DNA sequence: ATGGTTGGTTCCCAA
């Protein structure tokens, strides 16, 4: 089973690229982020006409995630628990960043699609993120994600959590790590929160298959980042132990960044023996 | 250090 995660940076602006990609690359499951669309405005038909099932969790203008699958998407849930008081201004969390569904091949696989908060600008009060700030929201969201991972791990079934984590795990995952030292994507607190997820026993699929620097999934639109290959690797697959047993391959579809009107992210793929 | 680009709730914000 071929599964891809792809931050498309706006489904309306990216629809031609998305349709061509679904037709040509033909993932069994696509996990999308930054659809930037309400559910009612999502261009369902173009995707369903290709024979795909579709589940969205959107909001107007920002964020938004979706699952696209050749197999039925079962037991769909939207949002992360622990929303109470978790918003950047202390309100309930209305940001559409998380969706889950189960697909059944040879065995059942729970798929968790996520768009983790960016977290900039970083506001600190000494060693503590300022409560209610964007960085505080990011770190609290990661704790909520860890809680969900713990729940799923108890079931001892295959699952994966994939999407735009907005985390540069290590210096080798950036062309210019020193430019990111104070950024919410690379600060020590962010990387520690990511390690806490991994330390539950999850496998980062790409690093289970590929070693060394120079592998990126995002290049900024600005300052000629793509032409200089000035990228960062922030789109990840985390696999449960039972899912990691099924991992055949993980790769980054770098070519997607070279076409006209690209997203600033490219798809990351896993091949699972399901 | 700065500036640069893209998409969307567009004359500003988020990334």
Q: How far is the CA of A242 from the C1' of B1 (A)?
A: 48
Residue with tokens 């690797």: A233
Q: Which nucleotides of B are covered by protein (CB under 7 A)?
A: 3-9, 14-15
Decide: CB of A89 under 7 A of nucleic strand B. no
Backbone angles phi, psi at A253, to 5 degrees: -90, 75
The confidence band for A93, taking pLDDT boundaries of 50, 70 and 90, is confident
Q: Each residue of A159-168: pLDDT tens digit?
A: 999 999 999 9
pLDDT digits (tens, 9 = 90+) for A104-155: 999 999 999 999 999 999 999 999 999 999 999 999 999 999 999 999 999 9
In this predicted structure, the answer to whether residue A88 has a pLDDT above a threshold of 80 is no
Lookup: nucleotide whose C1' is closest to A95 CA? B14
Report yes or no: A101 and A108 within 8 Å, Cβ to Cβ: no
Q: Name the closest nucleotide to A94, judged by C1' and CA.
A: B9
Say which residue the tokens 């590929």 belong to. A210
CB A138 within 8 A of CB A126: no
A120 token code pair: 């900039």
The separation, in Å, between residue A59 CA and nucleotide B10 C1' comes to 17
Convert the pLDDT of each residue in A35-55 to its tens digit.
999 999 999 999 999 999 999
Fold of A2-272: Deoxyribonuclease I; Chain A (3.60.10)
Question: How far is it, in rounded angstroms, from Cα A177 to Cα A180?
Answer: 5
Sign of CA dihedral A140, A34, A224, A18: positive
Nucleotide nearest to A15 (CA to C1'): B7
Q: Are strands A268-272 and A98-104 parallel, antiparallel or unpaired?
A: unpaired
Answer yes or no: is A163 CB < 7 A from strand B: no
| DSSP character at residue A204 | E
Structure-block tokens of residue A217: 């999934």
What is the C-alpha separation between A72 and A137, in angstroms, rounded? 33
**pLDDT tier, A256 (very low <50, low <70, confident <90, very high otherwise):** very high
pLDDT for the residue A52: 98
pTM: 0.96
CB burial string A163-189: b at 16+ within 10 A, e below: bbbbbbbeeebbbeeeebeebbbbbeb
Q: Is the pLDDT of residue A87 over 60?
A: no
A258 touches strand B (CB under 7 A): no
């Amino acid at each position: 089973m071929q599964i891809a995660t792809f931050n498309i940076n706006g489904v309306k602006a990216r629809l031609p690229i998305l349709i061509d990609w679904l037709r040509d690359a033909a993932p069994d499951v696509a996990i999308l982020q930054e659809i930037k669309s309400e559910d009612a405005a999502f261009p369902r038909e173009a995707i369903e006409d290709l024979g795909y099932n579709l589940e969205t969790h959107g909001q107007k203008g920002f964020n938004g995630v979706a699952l696209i699958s050749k197999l039925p998407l079962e037991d769909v849930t939207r949002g992360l628990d622990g929303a109470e008081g978790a918003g950047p201004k202390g309100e309930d969390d209305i940001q559409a960043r998380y969706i889950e569904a189960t697909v059944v091949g040879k065995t059942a696989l729970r798929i968790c699609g996520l768009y983790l908060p960016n977290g900039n600008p970083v506001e600190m009060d000494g060693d503590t993120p300022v409560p209610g700030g964007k960085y505080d929201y990011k770190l609290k969201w990661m704790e909520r994600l860890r809680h969900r991972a713990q729940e799923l791990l108890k079931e001892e079934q295959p699952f994966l959590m994939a999407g735009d984590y907005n985390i540069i795990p290590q210096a080798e995952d950036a062309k210019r790590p020193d430019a990111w030292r104070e950024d919410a994507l690379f600060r020590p607190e962010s990387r520690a929160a990511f390690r806490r997820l991994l330390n539950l026993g999850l496998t980062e699929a790409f690093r289970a298959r590929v070693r060394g620097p120079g592998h990126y999934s995002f290049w900024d639109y600005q300052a000629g980042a793509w032409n200089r290959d000035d990228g960062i690797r922030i789109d990840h697959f985390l696999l449960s132990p039972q899912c990691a047993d099924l991992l055949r391959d993980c790769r980054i579809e770098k070519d997607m960044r070279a076409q006209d009107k690209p997203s600033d992210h490219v798809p990351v793929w896993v091949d699972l023996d399901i």
